[in-house]
Structure 1
């Protein structure tokens, strides 16, 4: 959501093709990594993934909550050396939708594998990890889109639609993954970030952003997962609702709090203080 671009946003991607499609998954992992925005930052991934391998090389799955826009060659190379076998990407707003959308559209409702380890997830999508139900609802509004070029570094596909929301409402979830923060988030750091950005933004951007959060909030309130994890605001923090459901925000590349360790059985989240 930050008004200023991250340096890696304009990463150019080589041609992609769908290597595999999956209607759903049931992953066997007792613990997974969850990562916030990377913005195509190759240098960050070259530092972060080896560090994760040193912390726990037994973890094989990384869930990414958007603004990925990565060179898949880079992710494949370092994931293989870290022990990570799969990276599941919940799409954000800063993504090359001109490349991603046709791949997903060719396999409606399916996650698509586009490299050795990288999977792009449709919106919405339901899967399981160790019997826990997970719902992924990607997308968000770019509050800086007025300064971006359509079809180059901004696509209208980023928007969370009413159709996507309606498709998600019947789903069941213990865990919800999204890029956008939900309306009414209990995360104090997220509230402060939105308040700090407000004077810098146009009325149109503020309205679009609020509508995007409302749509995520509608799914969050209806599906009622015990845990929601998101990125987008470039801050890390956590908060509990009055009924003890947790929301966790992850920061972006180059910042502490970009990565978290999620224990599936307990749904406990440890935000990793990297770089320390």
Structure 2
């Protein structure tokens, strides 16, 4: 396995300012791979549909950065599933930008990257089905988790929601039935982590920066990182140095405006 440097970003929600700053920073840092944990908001419906996608694609082309993203809960699930499939299992949005479907494992420079996106929208009562909500498609399923586990090993796992064993996350005060529904995804993701024991897990969704380690008792650990949203540049994007031996290094990316 060769050394690889790559970046991982949290939710952007179609915000071009942080997208521009991150991609330009990666160009300066000579980093050519960016992973995204969902709520990217490409193909987002509305009068400005496609503008963010087009500009982001131009930025990626100019910087020679490949963007691989999973889906969050606030993504256009219907249109993502209709994207052009590629031989490596991804689905292309544009030249340098591809969606990693749930349950898919891809490889870059010997590093195996798994995707299990999606989450329950706790704000669904304020959303409109088919416009900014796809309630029957937004949550990952046990079948998708099983497909991912069957593709083991996985070195880096991308999820949108955070696995259940990440503690200390500050969330909204939710009615019990909504909290229970949202918790389904966290438990499902944790079952995938327990089965795969990846070196790294990256999540978003909670709009805050948190880290937690799981010690498997055999000399290996899983470092789990929740990334902040677009409003927190200091916690949104990290730089990963994967040397192929020892623990991978994860550090904040100093985003240049």
Output one character per residue of 1:33-73: Cα deviation in whole Å (capped at 9) or x when no partner: 1111010112222233223323x0x2111111100113321
Provide the secondary structure at the position in 1 that maps to 2:201: strand
Verify: 1:173 aligned to 2:147, yes or no: no
- Which residue in 2 is equivalent to 1:50? 24
Once residues 205 and 231 of structure 1 are traced to their aligned partners in structure 2, the CA distance between those partners, rounded to angstroms, is 19
Correspondence for 1:93 among 73, 80, 103: 73
Once residues 181 and 94 of structure 1 are traced to their aligned partners in structure 2, the CA distance between those partners, rounded to angstroms, is 15
- Which residue in 1 is equivalent to 2:46? none
Provide the secondary structure at the position in 1 that maps to 2:80: helix
Once residues 164 and 65 of structure 1 are traced to their aligned partners in structure 2, the CA distance between those partners, rounded to angstroms, is 16
Q: CA deviation at 1:107?
A: 7.6
Report matched runs for 1:8-23 at 5 Å: none
- Which residue in 2 is equivalent to 1:62? 34
Output one character per residue of 1:201-246: Cα deviation in whole Å (capped at 9) or x when no partner: 2223201111110000010011111211111111112221233321
Aligned length: 238
* Superposition CA RMSD, Å: 2.3
C-alpha distance 205-109 of structure 1, shift in aligned 2 (>3 A) = farther
* TM-score, structure 1 normalization: 0.79
- Which residue in 2 is equivalent to 1:268? 249
Would you say the 8 A contact 2:211–2:224 is kept in 1? yes
Correspondence for 2:235 among 229, 243, 257: 257
Output one character per residue of 1:82-138: Cα deviation in whole Å (capped at 9) or x when no partner: 331x1101111110113212337x789931112121101111111123222221111
